[in-house]
Amino acid sequence: MIIIMLGAPGTGKGTIAGILTKELGIPQVSTGDIFRKNIKEQTELGKLAETFISKGQLVPDDVTIGIVESRLEDPDVQEGIILDGFPRTVRQAEELDKILEKKGKKVDLVINLTTPEDELIERIVNRRICSNQECKTVYNLVLNPPKKEGICDVCGSPLIQRKDDTEETVKERFKTYTEQTRPLIEYYEKKGNLYSTLVSKTINKLGQDVAKDVIKYIKENNI
Ligand code: AMP
């Protein structure tokens, strides 16, 4: 099963993908996480990616598509994958379709998350992430704070704030999303595999609730 998480920064793609991974038993692959790991290790890819990420821009399509194409060859994703943050442009979506077609596969479900923008900014600036790459549990200082300040409840590692989670960079990331990623909603709507849902405290529906709805939807529709 091939699932795509679509949505503006802060809508909860990573959180929901993390829950779905456990429930469905298929790996979550986040292009953002791949870039952050490479930035930390200061690889050539990391140095290149950092120049774009720090400005709230997308890493060029050719680089990103190549990474996902090679990741799709790995044995652990042959039964399924949850792509978290990819595709982010129409070109990436088209290339993904071509790559999957060659393998006799297709995108089964695109989960499109929407949240009011003021809520997103509040969520992003309060977001803290476990620094342990194996854990990566996401917290929110207001909605879901850790039990002990600055420490991950799950593994005890220090929590960090993403460098691009500042109000200034976030505005640029929203602009990038609107111009380059939002057209994907129409792209997948036409293909008929889009599942759109609001994730918002205003309707009392956050990541856990949405993940439950998605699992029910997958079962009911035999996806
Ligand atoms: P994320 O963790 O998904 O919010 O991604 C963090 C940053 O990594 C984004 O703001 C982009 O700069 C870059 N990035 C992640 N995924 C992609 C992608 N599919 N295409 C281009 N850039 C990406």
Q: Quote the pLDDT of residue 195.
A: 97
Beta bridge partners of 84: 5, 30
Distance CA 27, CA 174 (A): 27
The residue whose C-alpha atom lies closest to atom 5 belonging to ligand 1 is 32
* CA triple 206-209-214, angle to 5 deg: 120
Q: Are 107 and 223 in contact (CB under 8 A)?
A: no
pLDDT at position 39: 95
Round to the nearest angstrom and report the end-to-end CA distance of the chain.
7
Q: How confident is the model at residue 168, as a pLDDT? A: 86
Residue where the block lists tokens 């990436």: 92
Q: Phi and psi (nearest 5°) for 33?
A: -65, -40
Among 6, 31, 68, the mutation site with the greatest number of ligand 1 atoms within 8 A of its Cβ is 31
Q: Which residue is listed with tokens 């593994």?
A: 155
Q: Is the pTM of this model over 0.85?
A: yes
Ligand 1 atom closest to Cα of residue 53: 12
Q: What is the pLDDT of residue 167?
A: 85
Show the domains of the chain with their CATH numbers. 2-115+164-220 (3.40.50.300)
pLDDT along the chain (223 residues), means of 10: 97 94 96 95 97 96 98 97 98 98 97 95 94 90 94 97 91 96 98 96 90 96 92
Centre a 10 Å sphere on the Cβ of residue 110 and count the other Cβ atoms it contains: 24
Instruction: Give the model's pLDDT for residue 133.
Output: 85
Catalytic residue positions, numbered: 13, 88, 127, 162, 173
CA-proximal residue: ligand 1, atom 1 (nearest): 32
